[in-house]
Amino acid sequence: VDLSKSVKTKDSVFILPLGGLGEIGMNMMALIYKSRAVILDCGAMFPEMNGMGIDLVAPCTESLRELGVEVDGIVYTHAHEDHIGSGALLYQQLGSPDIYGTAFTLAMLEERMTGIRSFNKKKEHTIEPGKAFKVGAFKFHSLPVTHSIVDSVALKIETPQGIILHTGDFKIEDETYRGEGFNENEFAKLGSEGVDLLLSDSTNVESPGWTKSELDLGKDIKELIQSIDRGKLIVTLFSSNIPRIHSIVDAAKGSKRKLCLIGRSVTTNVGIARRLGFLDIDDSELIEMDEVDRLPPEEVLVICTGTQAEPRSALMRLSLETHSAFKLRAGDTVVFSSRQIPGNERRISGLMNNLHRIGCEVLTHRDAEVHVSGHARREELAKMMSLVNPKCFLPVHGEYRMLVRHHQLGKEQLPKAKHLLAENGDLLEFKSGHLEPIGKLEAGKQLFDENRYILEPELLRERKKLGFAGSVVVTAVIDSKRARLIEGPDVQIYGISENFDPVALEELLEDSLRIPKKKSRDLDSEYLEKEIRVHTRRFFKRHLGIKPIVFPVVYVI
């Protein structure tokens, strides 16, 4: 089947998940109609192992080019890294379209977008509550949802072939620190008007019951903070978690502690939240970093980054006693108001060892009520389904096993609905309110280094080889008239054990460079370099069990 032809000629809407259906992170989905698309979220994720210089992982957009699709806009549900993180990296690849998001989401994107020449403020559109907006053939309505960041929305999308509800990330909290919480009535109203397809967040489907609310957690945090009456108090958290920062600021207000914000992302995000009215902190409640040591320790509360023991984070530097502003001391308390992202456990454990060496008290979610998830658990997910009561259900945002669990939950909850499971790259046809998989496209990852350059697979293969087996440089000079080796072979090794006989290797290479008489006429360095490569690799394979990268350099004079 020629998928690009179907996409171009058929009157259907096509749904193409590009990221987040098969992993936690890099959420991205395209809705396509008559070869024009709108992209929902443009997220990134961090590499599992921080080796070989990979800094950030983003979805591959090749399939959109394959389909011949042009992008009219990117609509963001909220400002978490797994929803906006590749928005700047992929902006030009996506054809520099208009972008849509709530005020906080756009503010969080702003700094990243500033370096991009094809972007300007005119392409930015703020999503406002109750105000519909059109992107190509699609009409959007936003519905506020509660989540571990402010200004998150679900999206109702009116398409030429039916109505879609995309939940974004959410949990159901009746009330938040700002008053209004998750408005069940709004979702129930949508449900009664009729929703053809529900796309819902699967992140916490493996956990039973309801996720504890941020307000309830806030009470626990307040009690904890006010019970610690000696030493400095350091709270580390995800810097975008504005509701959590509010809880901590609120707890500080009821104590004699003054607040100090350290780390660039905390300072930036709190700045944005204050400017947009999401956080109410008076300047008089804040102290500068260099004031910390001038106050008695029991009058200091520090909010900082570093929950995942990121090497450059404030907490890491404090734990290594290399932070320029102040030092941690015995008797100080460090609270991890966070969870450990899988893959970071070793590093976090090392950080905690450092803190204990200093004599700090360390509290995590295992010791006290200091963290809750921002994602709906099973009963909340079931609630969302019963409110919206869609004709079709497709789980999104999660590793494959989570999608399967959510799919099963859907079948129990909505026995009459049609249930589908899809992964990144599955092309789904949405027609008259029905969803059908019709093909599979390339769905991969793009890997970026710290400077935001793409790391091609070939380059990574080479880096892997270099790292695993090391490299050998062999230099030789050949006299072309006499067809004889006149200098070398010189062997230099990098990253290779010296447990081999260098003389044996040189002799072997000399033999391989002995040029037969009949060959001498068309003597070329390429042939000789190939000989060196083959023999050197064979030698190291036999003696050390490795196949290093060999760089032969042959001068024929």
Contact between 374 and 149 under an 8 Å Cβ cutoff? The reply is: yes
Count of CB atoms situated within 10 Å of the CB of 136? 17
| 80 interacts with Zn ion by CB under 5 A | yes
User: Which of the ranges 80-88, 385-393, 448-456, 516-524 carries the binding residues for Zn ion, by CB under 5 A?
Assistant: 80-88
| 214 interacts with Zn ion by CB under 5 A | no
Helix axes 378-388, 400-413, angle to 10 degrees: 50
* Nearest distance from C-beta of residue 373 to Zn ion, angstroms: 10
User: Which of the ranges 49-57, 162-170, 238-246, 493-501 carries the binding residues for Zn ion, by CB under 5 A?
Assistant: 162-170
User: Which of the ranges 4-12, 26-34, 77-85, 511-519 carries the binding residues for Zn ion, by CB under 5 A?
Assistant: 77-85
* Nearest distance from C-beta of residue 374 to Zn ion, angstroms: 6
Which is closer to Zn ion, CB of 145 or CB of 259? 145
Which is closer to Zn ion, CB of 177 or CB of 540? 177
User: Which of the ranges 20-28, 63-71, 161-169, 462-470 carries the binding residues for Zn ion, by CB under 5 A?
Assistant: 161-169
Contact between 237 and 149 under an 8 Å Cβ cutoff? The reply is: no
Which is closer to Zn ion, CB of 33 or CB of 170? 170
Contact between 167 and 198 under an 8 Å Cβ cutoff? The reply is: yes
| 169 interacts with Zn ion by CB under 5 A | yes
* Nearest distance from C-beta of residue 361 to Zn ion, angstroms: 30
Q: What is the CA radius of gyration of the chain?
A: 29
Contact between 394 and 197 under an 8 Å Cβ cutoff? The reply is: yes
Residues 203, 82: Cα–Cα separation, whole Å: 12
User: Which of the ranges 168-176, 345-353, 458-466, 537-545 carries the binding residues for Zn ion, by CB under 5 A?
Assistant: 168-176
Residues 23, 399: Cα–Cα separation, whole Å: 4
| 151 interacts with Zn ion by CB under 5 A | no
Longest dimension (CA), the chain: 93
Which is closer to Zn ion, CB of 80 or CB of 317? 80
* Nearest distance from C-beta of residue 380 to Zn ion, angstroms: 14
- Print the binding letters for residues 218-237 with Zn ion: x by CB under 5 A, - otherwise: --------------------
Which is closer to Zn ion, CB of 7 or CB of 57? 57
Which is closer to Zn ion, CB of 27 or CB of 389? 27
Which is closer to Zn ion, CB of 170 or CB of 177? 170
The site for Zn ion, by CB under 5 A, has a size of: 2
What single-letter DSSP state applies at residue 204? T
Contact between 378 and 205 under an 8 Å Cβ cutoff? The reply is: yes
* Nearest distance from C-beta of residue 70 to Zn ion, angstroms: 28
Which is closer to Zn ion, CB of 83 or CB of 535? 83
Residues 386, 419: Cα–Cα separation, whole Å: 14
Residues 62, 68: Cα–Cα separation, whole Å: 10
Q: What is the 3-state secondary structure (H, E, C) of 125-151?
A: EECCCCCCEEECCEEEEEEEEECCCCC
User: Which of the ranges 74-82, 197-205, 515-523, 540-548 carries the binding residues for Zn ion, by CB under 5 A?
Assistant: 74-82
First vs last Cα of the chain: how many Å apart?
58
Q: Letter for the amino acid at 393?
A: F
Query: Given the rule CB under 5 A, which residues bind Zn ion?
Result: 80, 169
